[in-house]
Amino acid sequence: MAVPIRVAYLTHYPELYGANRSLLDLMLDLRDRGAVVPHVLLPREGDLVSALQREGIAHAVVPFRPWMSERHYSGRLHHRIHQHWQQERQARERAAANRAVLPALVERVRGWQVQLLHANSAVVGVAPALKAATGLPLVWHIRELPERQYLLHLDAGARGYGRALRRADRLIAISEAVREDILRYTGPGARITVVYNGVLRAARYAELARGSEARWTAARPFTFLLVGLIHPSKGQVEAVEALALLKRQGRSVHLVIAGDGRDAALRQRIAELDVADAVDLKGFVKDPFPLFHEAHALLMCSRNEAMGRVTVEGMACGLPVVGHASGGTVELVDDGVNGLLYPGGAEALAERMARLAADPSLAHRLGDAAARSAAGRFSVERYAGEVLEVCRAVLSDAR
């Protein structure tokens, strides 16, 4: 039996949102296989720390900082210039903070006798410096399209970001869309392996599939569900506009939006379109699966989604997905087979939504195909095994 690899995982936030849920699934599977001894470095306390404590996984809170940020400008030109220089100063402060905590990170890694570093996001900019200081190989798991998906500003600039990515011993991209985005910065020749996220364990897919039929016999309006961070790039406003078009056609439809974030514009648009009676804002929902089972279709309106964990979760519950034809969504949704894709904006989205609402048998058929597709492609067991192959290859090359 192979000796387990001692790995230090670096994550940029402590909440149990998508990236950290995928990280936790990965660590637990590989630990339970006896393949990895996991250790975690994270910047502050949060739900992930509680989960690590329950699982007995070694961890340390060291206040390293992200090297990407959202930048907002308002007011007249002189206001915007002042805001720009403020944000540039904050970027320098983040870089200085990371230099200051680097010795503490090195001490932790050496004390754990780690053999491999694994950065869990593009946002973990301290990873290349830690690699240089310890001499350890680095696997960098890129889970987002930072500029296109989250509209983030790169503190180091595009060239600096590309240089940092090239320093990794191997890059893991969670979709072909992410791989292509990485190459925009690194140029050709970057060592990239595409590994789709494992979202659920195989047994859980089977369990969810067994409970997916009740929605088609319940007497209620055809219900669309959108789950995720409320953000301009995620398309919640577009979903509301599409729903309003369906309501004007006299269709009996309902929209449930689960998530927290920047919701002022969303609430304003709901009021302007007078659809408050047909839109249910749930706020942050820790367990979305009851909502999946009550819905008839899932919306994924995000532009340039890297992959879409929630897309797979909805598919696993037998929901057809109406997804925007961009980013990693097109790698999950096969148009007309397990869901529908739409280009453009609210009108195109409304046409696909109307197609499902008018023909529940079509929605049912697409949802069944979605469940089979998700179970076959996105298990935690498959995902963890592929990541383990990458880690072993990197260590072999390092030796």
Q: Mind listing the pLDDT tens digit for each residue in 233-243?
A: 899 999 999 99
What is the signed CA dihedral for 138, 141, 145, 146, rounded to 10 degrees? -60
Q: If residue 295 lies in a helix (H) or strand (E), which one and from where to where?
A: none
Q: Within its chain, how far is the Cα of 74 from the centroid?
A: 29
Query: Mind listing the domains of the chain with CATH numbers?
Result: 5-198+379-398 (3.40.50.2000), 202-377 (3.40.50.2000)
Alpha helices in 187-235 (DSSP H): 202-210
Residue 223, strand partner residues:
254
Interstrand relation of 222-227 and 253-258 (parallel, antiparallel or unpaired) = parallel
- Total-model pTM: 0.91
Backbone angles phi, psi at 68, to 5 degrees: -140, 155
Q: What is the pLDDT of residue 1?
A: 60
Structure tokens, 36: 């990895």
Task: Compute the chain's Rg from CA coordinates.
Answer: 22
Residue 324, SS3? strand
Q: What is the pLDDT of residue 212?
A: 80
Q: What is the pLDDT of residue 231?
A: 86
Q: What is the pLDDT of residue 211?
A: 78
Q: Mind listing the pLDDT tens digit for each residue in 301-330?
A: 998 899 989 999 999 999 999 999 999 999
Residues of the chain short of pLDDT 70, as ranges, are 1
